[in-house]
Structure 1
Amino acid sequence: MSRVDHHAQKANKRTNPLESLLMPQVPRNNYLHFQKEKQRLHLKKFLIDRIFLVANIPANTTRKDIAEYYEHTFQSIMRQHIGETVTGLLLIYPTVILHILESSSGTLFKILLDYVNHEKNDKEFLIQGMKIIVMSHNIPSRLFLQWQVSVINVPVTYLDDVTQSQTLEEVITEFLIQTHKLGLNLFKAVKVGTKGPGDNLQQVSPELLLPEQIIKYLCKAERFLDPATFIKMYSGPIHISLDSEVVWPAPTHF
């Protein structure tokens, strides 16, 4: 073998590793991606609705009280609606809460009904004056892979109170934009099987958190339905006889 051929073989050996890197690689999903996709497929088993709720809470209400109430409610409902997982986000401010829930329409109806029963029978119930801001039916995908709770202790900034300068429609638009941005941020950041940011949410995404005065403003707005009124409409008959349709005397059939 000539010295030229020998050097050519060495050059080819040195370029092989580079060529292997430049060759198209077959994409491979890791185990975390597999678990996330498995969770998503499981959560798509039923038609999913999403509901946005706001409510007042007494000053002495703790995170533990509210979280335990909802966890107990979810467990009780899941025994009847097997497999219909509840996901979402509960933000607990000093005097109000913002609650986003995702599940089947039947499960969400049961959660609202449980609240209405407590509201009727307990004048000092820990959640008061709840309002339904919006309910979206048959959403294409969930924003949340689990149900999370976060305590928000951001001080009230009265100088930036947009409720004094904006219309209700503008406040609602900002409310929905910010909550969806927050949901998307958590969807990307929270991994399957983890507990999420918890009470550190205000350090993780402070710019996406709504000010407390906006939640309080929406709680007072008369435009939104309370759960009792919503359930009454939900359970009412679809076909209603108008006065113009009633004939008197009633026709006699022979």
Structure 2
Amino acid sequence: MSSNSSSGSSSPKMITHHVSEVVESNITLLDLFREGASEKLILQRLIVAGLLPTHSDDRKKHMTALATHFQKLDRQLRREFMFDRVTGLLLLFPTCLLHVVESSRDVLLSVLRNMQHLVESDLLEGSKVVLLIHDPLRRIFQQWSYKMMYVEQRPHDADADDEEENTDSLVSTVLEALEKLDEHLQESNGDVLPGTVLDEVQHLCVPPEVIHQLLERDMLLSAEEHLELYDSPIVLDLDAGMGPLSLSDNII
């Protein structure tokens, strides 16, 4: 379908010509709206960790309850943001979780608010925003899915390097695991779910002990802290030649 661009408004003749093209190609106005919406979507990738309650008597039951909750959240997001494609992967362990979501800023904010709600409802004991990537080159996942992981957690050495280096190294471990998982998914041409790949190649999974260490890092913001920072305005000195700026422009 051809398109006409102009610095000013389109003339009636141009509009009529464009509509005739739409009719001839059987493209609906909804298709055009979707096309415009997709062009405006700036893809972002959120990686957030959560700590499951330590007092849970039945961890498997709690994992199942969380899986059901996140499945409902996925359906809710697809209804509420019908033009913002939501993809990602939720890894559920007996003691923690790691959630990767790829979509628009509004969707990711909804995911963070949901994480905050889970903490306030005692379904999670805590959360940490591991990383937020603006405008990645492409998506890792073709859809949203979850995977329950029953793997043994290895104890970690609390006397390792200083916290800042440890945090950088831990985040790198998560990114490397996602990169390797992405490579395997690319080889399958998107025909298999990430959970199937993890069943076959378990070392691609982010180790739960790494997630626990990330949850202990004070330099990482919780979902609640991230949202508070997003909503908090900051006033800059007007004499410096800049007007008021909201932190939300840079946070997510």
Q: Does 1:132 align with 2:129?
A: yes
Distance 1:98 1:117, change over 3 A: closer
**TM-score when scaled to structure 1?**
0.67
Deviations for 1:11-33, whole angstroms, at most 9, x for unmatched residues? xxxxxxxxxxxxxxxxxxxxxxx
How far did 1:76 drift?
Answer: 2.3
Distance 1:164 1:201, change over 3 A: farther
Preserved CA contact (<8 Å) 1:88 1:147: yes
Within-5 A mapping of 1:209-224? 209-224=205-220
- Residue 208 of structure 1: aligned partner: 204
Within-5 A mapping of 1:96-175? 96-120=96-120, 122=121, 124-125=122-123, 127-158=124-155, 161=156, 165-166=160-161, 167-168=165-166, 169-175=168-174
Amino acid across the alignment from 1:74: D
CA distance in 1: counterparts of 2:85 and 2:157, whole angstroms: 36
Preserved CA contact (<8 Å) 2:128 2:223: yes
Q: Does 1:49 align with 2:48?
A: no
Aligned-residue CA RMSD (Å): 2.9
Q: Which has the larger radius of gyration?
A: 1
Alignment partner for residue 229 of structure 1, among 225, 231, 242? 225
Preserved CA contact (<8 Å) 2:63 2:93: no
Preserved CA contact (<8 Å) 1:55 1:131: yes
How far did 1:54 drift?
Answer: 0.9
The answer for unaligned runs of 5 or more in structure 2 is: 1-34, 241-252
How far did 1:241 drift?
Answer: 4.9
How far did 1:173 drift?
Answer: 1.8
Preserved CA contact (<8 Å) 1:89 1:148: yes
CA distance in 1: counterparts of 2:38 and 2:138, whole angstroms: 7
- Give secondary structure in 1 for the equivalent of 2:219: coil
Distance 1:211 1:164, change over 3 A: farther
Amino acid across the alignment from 1:132: V
CA distance in 1: counterparts of 2:153 and 2:119, whole angstroms: 28
Distance 1:163 1:209, change over 3 A: farther
Preserved CA contact (<8 Å) 1:197 1:204: no
Ranked by relative contact order (alpha carbons within 8 Å, sequence separation 6 or more), the top structure is 1
Give percent identity, aligned residues only. 21
- Residue 244 of structure 2: aligned partner: none
Deviations for 1:144-190, whole angstroms, at most 9, x for unmatched residues? 001121111122334xx476545412222222212222233234336
Deviations for 1:123-162, whole angstroms, at most 9, x for unmatched residues? x22x33110011011122100001121111122334xx47
Amino acid across the alignment from 2:200: V
